[in-house]
Structure 1
Amino acid sequence: MGQEAGRSGRSEEDGFRWLSDAEQASWRAVLRGTRLLETALDDALREAGLQLSEYEIISMLSEASGRRLRMSELAALVVQSRSRLTHTAKRLEERGWVTREQCADDKRGVELVLTQEGGAAVTDIARLHVQSVRDNLVDILTPAQFQGLGDAMAVVCDHLDPHRLTDR
């Protein structure tokens, strides 16, 4: 008889590796925890009239050379489809925080450029965002737990990101 896979009642007789009870509990904690964290971070930015996805874009631009990134590269960095990034960029353009410009080295490409107003917005909003990250993640874990979480997610990113866009 094959090894039982817990609540599912399925065995490994068919050669498929089902999640154990412990694996299932961990997986569900990861899934629910990431969704709850993203919601909490989004809620904190709402008082600044911003969504997490918008802040992530202007933050990435603020750290980029020349405060500009090619749209395709930015979409990969923030894990958004190009069409979703285009819609988000439009909202940021309407605020005066970014502009779209043709790439100097490739006339077919488009870069998103952080404006002076966008840079000021990042500076103003950064404290609010970082405090929310601290309140909802960093400060509720031990330093070792936070380091372990970062290390584990870097492994996941390296596995899923063929271009190795992680910071580690």
Structure 2
Amino acid sequence: AQIDREIAAFRRQHHCLDERAQPFERLRSQRPVAVWLFTIERKDWWAKRGRLAAVIGPLPTESGPTLAADYLRLVFSPGVTAQVHIHSGPKAFFALTVDTCLATPEGTQVGRGPGNSLMIRPGPPMLLMAVGKEERRGFAFILHDATKSPTILTQQWRPQGSCARLLALACGR
């Protein structure tokens, strides 16, 4: 809630972001412009057709449990964040556009420019924010124990504003 108030105050003060920005959307349907193939394979495996867009990983996994994979298409307006949450397995992000800010109690990771990717291990609370003046489009992938929920909302940690400060810099303020 505090970070939302800071972002709203920033928007009012600097007018560099779309006031109509919508809350975090897990999925948004639009006319597709590409077909994406997501695979979990050996490092030397390649699809017979198509163009390689990115290799992300390897993701750290624990042996034993039956794993499930959640693939997400993410669309964030500038400054919009996901609610603070944790994951029961590793999560990887790939951005088609703009910068990505990922804040955790352990620090802040920033992915720069189109094609950036970030990963986070299971467990720590996290906040993800689109940093820039344009919409952030991308994908995320969570590899988790099939018996556990992949995502759990939490209030056990409050972001310190590092992503909001990066957003202010991106908007030239």
- Which category of TM-score, normalised to the shorter sequence, fits these structures? under 0.3
Name the one with the larger helix percent. 1
Name the one with the larger strand percent. 2
- More contact order relative to length (CA 8 Å, sep ≥ 6): 2
